[in-house]
């Protein structure tokens, strides 16, 4: 059974510079019973690579949909 209490959904489309700011904000939270789901509307490969670089060090589950 999962301890996740909240799912945060972030939408993005080719806005890597803003996505970095959003991910850094969530990365520095002290509450950890949540997950981040990035709803990507077909961005370029740069977005996918950015998310993958965050996934290994992110304190909560980070999903790219």
- Say what the pLDDT of residue 4 is: 80
Give the pLDDT confidence of 3-59 residue by residue, as tens digits: 788 999 999 999 999 999 999 999 999 999 999 999 999 999 999 999 999 999 999
51 and 10 in contact (C-beta within 8 Å)? no
pTM of the model: 0.90
In DSSP terms, 24 is beta-bridged to: none
Chain centre to alpha carbon of residue 55: 8
d(CA 42, CA 46): 11
pLDDT at 1: 52
């Amino acid at each position: 059974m999962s301890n996740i209490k909240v799912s945060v959904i972030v939408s993005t489309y080719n806005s890597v510079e803003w996505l970095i700011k959003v991910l850094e904000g969530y990365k520095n939270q002290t509450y950890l019973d949540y997950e981040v789901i990035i709803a990507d509307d077909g961005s370029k490969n740069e977005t996918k690579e950015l998310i993958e670089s965050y996934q290994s060090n992110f304190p909560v589950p980070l999903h790219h949909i």
